[in-house]
Structure 1
Amino acid sequence: MTHRLTVIGTGYLGATHAACMADLGYEVLGLDVDKNKIDRLAGGEVPFYEPGLEPVLRRNLENGRLRFTTSYDEAAEFGDVHFVCVGTPQKSGEYAADMTYVDEAVSALASRLRRPCVIVGKSTVPVGTAARLEQAIARLSPADGDAVLAWNPEFLREGFAVQDTLHPDRIVVGVPGDQAAAERAEKTLREIYAPMLSEGTPFIVADYPTAELVKVSANAFLATKISFINAMAEVCEAAHADVTKLSEALSYDDRIGGKFLGPGLGFGGGCLPKDIRAFMARAGELGADQALTFLREVDEINIRRRTRMVDLARHLLGGSFIGRTVGVLGAAFKPNSDDIRDSPALDVAATIRAQGARVTVYDPQAMGNARRAQPDLEFAGSALEAATGAHVVLLLTEWNEFREMDPGELGDVVAERNIVDGRNALDPDHWRAAGWHYRALGRPGPR
């Protein structure tokens, strides 16, 4: 059976999923209530930066396997399988996830379903959401119980989303408690993901709550690992030790491993910060808040790294930013992305400007988003331009072009050769040999 797929929500997750599923040979209809976003996608333009996605999008628009719409009626009529990929942002002033978009999308779709189909949730949601939505679908759908819900969390890494969609490291599917419905949901998703399964990708079938917990548990573990090494950086600074050597030594322990053990400015973006906060909020609602109290410290360690970055830069300038010029390299929360949500880099830049400095920012991809978010900052067209006249340069996002900078060339344009490496991405000896006063998070200064 050849399934026709819809993807509800065409943000980062949805646009990627729609294009990649079409690339596997399926007919795909992407839906969003934002007409501007739909028009851009239909014209072959990806509204965000993601390496490799635009060619996949254009290829499948041209061959006719991929279309976009704003009509729920069209989507309900078209699809055999409906993937729900809308956002779950953090509620304003709270830790909890805002489920408005998920609830609205599922309600709008369910009320129009008149034939058998499978609805597949991919959004990151609080545990218990799928069971609640299953009841809503049964209540709203004219399909008389033939609309089955499954939960299939996503594990995309920004910068590697196409690869992670087409060649995932695992596929997790949460199925209903009813045996017949569970078998139907599992069979459908095994068919859709057959190309991945043929490569040996693990396929894990679980109940709804377990599937919902996988994504937030993975993000909580990842955030904890990042904050752990940054907590060790705090200790190293106090003890005049080198956290990069500590991290290297730890990485050879098979029980620990070196991935995401890189000390620096900490994590940001649209997933880790809001997901661990939503996880804490949901645990509290379930009466299990004590199990996740450690995540509050994980979050606080992460925020403290930003404060420490500001302190290091201020110290290099003699204790004050007033009347000084600061060049900032990086605005996105990570390289290979234009995402500035909860970006440590942009947060540090804005904080320093508020303390009296003139701050000029450059990022290879995130300039447009950064200008809209922080219009009071100044922006440059290159790293050299951002550093021109600077009394201190801050490396805050570890783009390769920053890693490969010539310290002599950069030194020719600055007012003073001071640099703070917020990502431990540069060779201290190389930069010091070029006359720079080099400092980094978790590493001692020159003796």
Structure 2
Amino acid sequence: MAPRITVIGTGYLGATHAAGMAELGYEVLGMDVDPDKVSVLSSGRSPVFEPGLEELLARHLASGRLRFTTSAEEAARFGDVHFLCVGTPQKKGEMAADMTYVDAAVDALAPHLDRPCVVVGKSTVPVGTAARLSQRLADTAPAGEAAELAWNPEFLREGYAVQDTLRPDRLVFGVRPGGRAEEALREVYAPLLGAGVPLVVTDYATAELVKVSANAFLATKISFINAMAEVCEASGADVTQLSAALAHDDRIGGRFLNAGLGFGGGCLPKDIRAFMARAGELGADQALTFLREVDAINMRRRSRMVELAREQCGGGFLGRRIAVLGAAFKPNSDDTRDSPALNVAAQIQLQGGQVSVYDPKALDNARKAFPGLNYAESALEAAEGAHVVLHLTEWQEFRELDPLVLGERVAERRVLDGRNVLDAERWRAAGWTYRALGRPQPEPLPGL
């Protein structure tokens, strides 16, 4: 008989995992303490914008394989395998991860676990968390050690989360030696393992480190090319050509090697900071001191974009209108957590600029995060009367903008490409002054 699955926490990760498990053929119960979120999900709507997710939700609510509840007791009765998918945000005023939600999820579930089961952590947590929670489960669950813990980190990319759930590039099981958790997880993931998805079975600590190590590496690679962009600006070199040349080296590769405004979102910034904080607690802080510079380079890109915008506005923002294209931290997402685009927009507004922001999907979240900014319902509306246009989130819609049409709306044809993806020659041919991070400004033609 196939195991029944619960998913504790139904935000971005949990909602996607619950729908994905139903797609793999399992009966799934999603549990969340937020009744509004449960109501939204039960109606087939997603609490976040994620391509393909609402289709999965609707399909499996209709099939009867998926439903949602606010009751931890009901989840405990229902499930054989319980996935913990709650958030681990950065603590206020600190770099460390806030484990409040993970601890609360375990404390809510454990008293109702009165038969053998497996509790599977998917959240990104400080190394050592799984060992602590394993003991907590054994001490508080009526089933004792028969309520076994495993750690199965997630590797979802926003905008591709459904694909990454159903066709992941690897699975990692952190398990206790001699327990039954590995067997249970192999059964749950049998459709993926049968399709050839690579599997690494390891201990708790290594499994916990996989996700934060991956994020630290990706953040380092992004900040590396952005550091090279700083050198390119100082020397007159072109970082896009430098990146293209480096990408031909198989040891380096081209992914995450695009210079621009840097990273944001709910994972990379807070995860590398929590990683540094945990290393300090373990007495290994020197091993990760380089991540401080990774973080600093990333934040400098935002300040540099503000500087470039100020230059394009004649040295100051007072009386100037600035159009900001993008609010989400990345395309194909409505996530505005630690968004570089909104950070830049807010800095410019604080310095006196009249800012108008447009994003295809993230305007509602942007309004909640930055209610003081002005928002437009289209790129053309945002650009009305603008003295400079800032391209800060690389939506396909923005790449396809007609610079001639947009040029009819602005006060001055000046564009700053914070993502280095617009066709510079096309924009210049339409009469725009085009600037981008890490790329030289061409010399004006004689007589101009």
TM-score, scaled to structure 1: 0.99
User: How many residues are paired up?
Assistant: 443
AA at the equivalent of 2:291: L
Q: Deviations over 1:160-218 (max 9, x none)?
A: 000000000000000014x1x1xx11111111111111111101100000000000000
Describe how 1:41-120 pairs up with structure 2 within 5 A.
Answer: 41-120=41-120
Percent identity, aligned pairs only, is: 73
Q: Deviations over 1:128-161 (max 9, x none)?
A: 0000001100100101321111000000000000
Is 2:15 the partner of 1:19? no
AA at the equivalent of 1:404: E
Describe how 1:155-234 pairs up with structure 2 within 5 A.
Answer: 155-177=155-177, 179=178, 181=179, 184-234=180-230
Structure 2 counterpart of 1:347:
343
Is 2:124 the partner of 1:124? yes
Q: Contact 2:20 / 2:166 at 8 angstroms: preserved in 1?
A: yes
- What's the CA shift for 1:111? 1.2
Q: Deviations over 1:263-312 (max 9, x none)?
A: 00000000000000000000000000000000000000000000000000
AA at the equivalent of 1:204: V
Is 2:147 the partner of 1:147? yes
Structure 1 counterpart of 2:436:
440
Structure 1 counterpart of 2:377:
381
Structure 1 counterpart of 2:249:
253
Structure 2 counterpart of 1:275:
271
Equivalent residue for 2:259, pick from 263, 266, 291: 263
- What's the CA shift for 1:331? 0.2
Describe how 1:293-312 pairs up with structure 2 within 5 A.
Answer: 293-312=289-308
Structure 1 counterpart of 2:323:
327
SS at match of 2:172: strand
SS at match of 2:123: coil
Structure 2 counterpart of 1:237:
233
Q: Could you tell which deviates more after superposition, 390-399 or 425-434?
A: 425-434
AA at the equivalent of 1:355: Q
Q: Deviations over 1:60-91 (max 9, x none)?
A: 00110001000011001000000000000000
SS at match of 2:155: coil
Structure 2 counterpart of 1:415:
411
SS at match of 2:352: coil
What is the rounded CA distance, in whole Å, between the counterparts of 1:343 and 1:351 in structure 2?
A: 12
AA at the equivalent of 1:66: L
Structure 2 counterpart of 1:8:
8
Is 2:422 the partner of 1:426? yes
What is the rounded CA distance, in whole Å, between the counterparts of 1:217 and 1:375 in structure 2?
A: 35
AA at the equivalent of 2:66: L
What is the rounded CA distance, in whole Å, between the counterparts of 2:442 and 2:402 in structure 1?
A: 21
What is the rounded CA distance, in whole Å, between the counterparts of 2:195 and 2:293 in structure 1?
A: 40
AA at the equivalent of 1:141: A
Q: Deviations over 1:316-367 (max 9, x none)?
A: 1110000100000000000000000000000000000000010000000000
SS at match of 2:145: coil
Q: Deviations over 1:377-404 (max 9, x none)?
A: 1111100110010000000000001011
* Misfit runs of 4+, over 3 Å: none
Structure 2 counterpart of 1:40:
40
What stretches of structure 2 of length at least 5 have no aligned partner?
Answer: 444-448
- What's the CA shift for 1:46? 0.3
What is the rounded CA distance, in whole Å, between the counterparts of 1:318 and 1:290 in structure 2?
A: 44
What is the rounded CA distance, in whole Å, between the counterparts of 2:69 and 2:264 in structure 1?
A: 32
- What's the CA shift for 1:428? 1.2
What is the rounded CA distance, in whole Å, between the counterparts of 1:315 and 1:39 in structure 2?
A: 49
What is the rounded CA distance, in whole Å, between the counterparts of 2:134 and 2:276 in structure 1?
A: 24
What is the rounded CA distance, in whole Å, between the counterparts of 1:70 and 1:401 in structure 2?
A: 38
- What's the CA shift for 1:427? 1.4
What is the rounded CA distance, in whole Å, between the counterparts of 1:72 and 1:362 in structure 2?
A: 40
SS at match of 1:145: helix
What is the rounded CA distance, in whole Å, between the counterparts of 2:438 and 2:382 in structure 1?
A: 25
What is the rounded CA distance, in whole Å, between the counterparts of 1:330 and 1:219 in structure 2?
A: 23
Q: Contact 2:137 / 2:144 at 8 angstroms: preserved in 1?
A: no
What is the rounded CA distance, in whole Å, between the counterparts of 1:291 and 1:372 in structure 2?
A: 38
What is the rounded CA distance, in whole Å, between the counterparts of 1:203 and 1:445 in structure 2?
A: 48
Q: Deviations over 1:399-431 (max 9, x none)?
A: 001011111000000000011000001111111
AA at the equivalent of 1:107: D
Describe how 1:401-412 pairs up with structure 2 within 5 A.
Answer: 401-412=397-408
SS at match of 2:289: helix
Structure 1 counterpart of 2:446:
none
What is the rounded CA distance, in whole Å, between the counterparts of 1:352 and 1:196 in structure 2?
A: 47
AA at the equivalent of 1:375: P
What is the rounded CA distance, in whole Å, between the counterparts of 1:12 and 1:375 in structure 2?
A: 23
SS at match of 1:270: coil
What stretches of structure 1 of length at least 5 have no aligned partner?
Answer: none
